Structure 1
Amino acid sequence: MTIFDILSPIDVPSIVQSFFDLGRAVNYDGHTMPLLSIQVTELKDGIFIGCSMNHCIGDGTSYWLFFNTWSEIFQARGNNISITRPPIHKRWFPDGVNPIINLSFPHQDEFISRFEAPKLRARMFHFSSESLKAKANAESNTNKISSFQSLSAFVWRCVTRVRRLPCDQIINCNLAANNRPRMEPSSPNDYFGNSLHALRGVTTAGELLEHNLGWAAWKLREAVANHTDQVVRDWVDTWLQFNMYGNEFGMGKAVALRSGYANKFDGKVSSYPGYEGGGSIDLEVCLLPDSMSALESDEEFMDAVSLPHQLH
């Protein structure tokens, strides 16, 4: 198998899931399985490095901090190893919160569920320009909507349209937010652990499609702006920026990013910075086959998609 065999198909080949060691594990399996696994798959013209990390260790920010640091140590070749961003391992807990939580369950089956993803299509879509940002801000008469908020709103509207949902059905657009810069005082960017939160834009399918891109993007912008230190702390009480292509391990710069089996569900969208930089973004979109086919036939959506650099 070659790099082209992985990157050229329209859908992400299912064999990519076998390149990750702990694809179907859940956090609780860390009692008996590794908390971190690196699987290196040799291709005819390159390698695929599959990294699997138990979420009890850290979140996506911590994941990429580990990957970047590992690459930095390798590139030093044992000479004057100096880590640019040393991870901060001291755990943070709000004042008055006891980090030890006892679960009153006699057996793990009472609180552990194992998700089995339905048959999905996963496809990468490349977006190279910021035209969506300009359009969303113009339609909302503002300059506060970010590129990512605009793109998220765009995908939200397009996927909702091709799903042909009832007008009165309530729908969500969930975004994973890094809590570190939102805390007061702010947590260090190199805090190694879990510090993330799910933000949510909520409306009905009919209302989302009746309004324009700017309206949808503003709803997501409001969700981000309203996510403050107090919101994070209240959430805890209720309970009781990365370099992805610069990593190098002796065979040159990575040409693409792909994910494994974990967290795949209908409507899941994962975003990665585009290979060429400049604000470009690669989105891995997972949909049921009929919805994906409809999305591929949606002119507004496909007009915004561009050819990724690695396939030029």
Structure 2
Amino acid sequence: MKSSAVEIISDCFIEPELVSEEAKKPIYLSPWDLAMMSTHYIQKGILYPKPKHQHFNITTFMDNLKDSLSATLTHFHPLAARLATLKQPNPPSFTIFINPENSPGARFIHAAVNLTVDDIVAPTDVPMIVHLFFDHQKAISHDGHKLPLLSVQVTELIDGIFIACSANHMVVDGSSFWHFFNSWSEVFKSKRGNEHFVSISRPPVIQRWIPSGCDSILTLPFTHEDQFIDRPNPPELRDRIFHFSSDSLSKLKSKVNLECNTTKISRLQSLSALVWRCVTRARGLPRARETSCKMAADNRMRLSPPLPETYFGNSLHSIKTTTTAGELLERSIGWVAWRLHQAVTNHSDKMIKEFVDCWLKSPLVYTSRFFDANCIHIGGSPIFDMYGNKFGLGEGSAVLSGCANKFDGKVTVYPGRDGAGSMDLEICLLPENMVALESDKEFMSVITC
């Protein structure tokens, strides 16, 4: 790849077009939000080919992006705020909340790079330059006291445009992130002229979920930030996206269900079982060594009563399945997939509320120590609408992520660009383990390319 640097052309802040009285009030966070203090910002973006017709003007396009972002922030106003903390000395405690006061809004960066779309999508591994297409490099969510809770960077390539968002993980989870992204694309399409308000098809529910029976303002029994601040420093990793066709996934699903004499195991559970087995084999773990697969699960529909699908905030739980490396590799893939299926099925309202009750008694913040060296962690979802975000550019060429929240064994699921039930997996591994995975016959027999 040609050597190239990312040049910043302009940098500004975008405020909501309209600010309601409700948007002027502080927002107190849920246990799921507060647990994310030491996680990186969520960084996801979409690469588009640049329109070839003569009517396309980059200046006009940027102005339209800014105008539609401002209109979208009217609905998603927490993203235009900052975090704030109230400290109490006796007993020592922290109260962290979203503060709409004295914030310049969301950041908007226009950048350029002397690369083509093929320079980004053709290499086997995701090029490191992609990390520079995102703002907030290595920032953790607690940094949202000083940094914008949302930063958009739009990078011009020679023949493409990359629209990237970095969003604070205390404010959004993956579902909320793509809800905002989808709404921004919708507003971009519908906004005309100088309307002061543009409605959206799926307004977010901003009010945070607080467990019944406890105070509406949660406090953390810490005496100093050092007790919960952790800045991950992962080793050098290889980052590669693998493509799985709908046909390939159907065959895998049929195989694991047949082995278990059931029809209940999903495509994603089947694929997760495959990845867990093959990554464990690539790592060469001893037979007796414990290994786990953690799958990010959305709690919204599992709670009773359920949260709205448009609940804007974190509602995540990591479902953990554990076994030994020997059992994982010696048993059938159907056995592995069934274990994952059972873990997902058993993740109920009762289990969620038991976890929250434990958290309230002893609050924890997710740090790097929660991700052991022998696990894989599967996040993202094939049901998020990513390629439906067009911004007048047509369908994107790829969905890519920044350097945030990456470690050895991190797996992110995307819908496949081909649609029809296809999936893409972004897998991050130590270089020697990635080489072994690329030579794994069981794994490579299922991928499309």
Shorter-normalised TM-score: what interval? over 0.9
- Answering whether residue 417 of structure 2 is matched by residue 282 of structure 1, we say no
Partner residue, 1:294? 436
Query: How far apart are residue 250 of structure 1 and its match?
Result: 2.5
Which digits, 9 at most, give the CA deviation of each residue in 1:247-284, with x for residues without a partner?
Answer: 01222211110111111000000000001111100000
2:172 maps to 58
Which whole-Å CA distance do the structure 2 matches of 1:198 and 1:155 have between them? 17
Aligned counterpart in structure 2 of residue 17 of structure 1, from 131, 135, 142: 131
Matches within 5 A, 1:202-217: 202-217=322-337
Structure 1 residues 124-164: Cα deviation after superposition (integer angstroms, max 9, x where no partner)? 00011221111110111110000000000001001111111
Q: Which amino acid aligns with 1:54?
A: N
- Which letter does structure 1 place at the counterpart of 2:166? S
Letter in 1 for 2:186: E
Report the CA distance between 1:94 and its aligned residue: 1.6
1:176-195 → structure 2 map (5 Å cutoff)? 176-195=296-315
Residue matched to 1:229: 349
**Kept in 1: contact 2:409–2:427 (CA 8 A):** yes
Residue 167 (structure 1) aligned with residue 287 (structure 2): yes
Provide the residue aligned with 1:77 in structure 2. 191
Which residue in 2 is equivalent to 1:201? 321
Q: How many Å separate the matches in 1 of 2:402 and 2:281?
A: 27
Question: Alignment partner for residue 87 of structure 1, among 179, 183, 204?
Answer: 204
SS at match of 2:240: strand
**Correspondent of 2:395 among 250, 253, 259:** 253
Evaluate the alpha carbon distance shift between residue 168 and residue 239 of structure 1 in structure 2; reply closer, same or farther with a 3 A threshold: same
Whole-Å Cα distance in 2 between the matches of residues 17 and 144 of structure 1? 38
Which has the larger Rg? Answer: 2
The Cα of 1:26 is off from its aligned counterpart by: 0.7
Which of 215, 230, 237 matches 1:120? 237
146-155 or 186-195, larger mean C-alpha shift: 186-195
Q: Secondary structure at the match of 2:188?
A: helix
| Percent identity for Structure 1 against Structure 2 | 57
The 10-residue stretch of structure 1 (181-190 or 241-250) with the greater mean CA deviation from structure 2:
241-250
Contact 1:23 1:52 in 2 (8 A): no
Is the 8 Å Cα contact of residues 173 and 315 (structure 2) preserved in structure 1? yes
Taking the aligned partners of 1:200 and 1:165, their CA distance within structure 2 comes to 19
Structure that is richer in helix per residue: 1
1:255 partner amino acid: S
Residue range with higher mean Cα deviation, 243-252 or 65-74: 243-252
TM-score with structure 1 length normalisation?
0.96
Q: Is contact 2:384–2:414 with CA below 8 Å preserved after alignment?
A: no
More off after superposition, 85-94 vs 2-11:
85-94
Aligned: 1:5 with 2:5: no
C-alpha contact (below 8 Å) 1:2/1:43 kept by paired residues: yes
Partner residue, 1:26: 140
User: For the Cα contact (< 8 Å) 1:162–1:294, is it kept in 2?
Assistant: yes
One-letter amino acid of the structure 2 residue matched with residue 251 of structure 1: L
- Map 1:254-273 → 2, pairs under 5 A: 254-273=396-415
Classify the secondary structure of the residue corresponding to 2:401. Answer: coil
Work out the CA distance in 1 between the residues paired with 2:288 and 2:137.
Answer: 36
Residue 197 of structure 1 aligns to which amino acid in structure 2?
H
* Match of residue 310 from structure 1: none
Task: State the alpha-carbon separation in 2 of the partners of residues 104 and 177 from structure 1.
Answer: 27
2-structure distance, mates of 1:242, 1:113: 29
> What is the 5 A alignment of 1:127-166?
127-128=244-245, 129=248, 130-166=250-286
Q: Give the structure 2 partner of residue 102 of structure 1.
A: 219
Aligned to 2:63: none
CA distance in 2, matches of 1:69, 1:173: 32
Q: Which amino acid aligns with 1:53?
A: A
Deviation at residue 193 of structure 1 after TM alignment? 0.7
In structure 2, runs of 5+ residues without a counterpart are 1-114, 361-382
CA distance in 1 between counterparts of 2:186 and 2:347 reads 33
Q: CA deviation at 1:99?
A: 4.2
2:223 and 2:339 mapped to 1: Cα distance? 43
List alignment gaps of at least 5 residues for structure 1.
308-312
- Choose which of 111, 125, 134 in structure 1 pairs with 2:228: 111
More strand by share: 2
RMSD: 1.3
C-alpha contact 2:130 2:402 (8 A) present in aligned 1:
yes
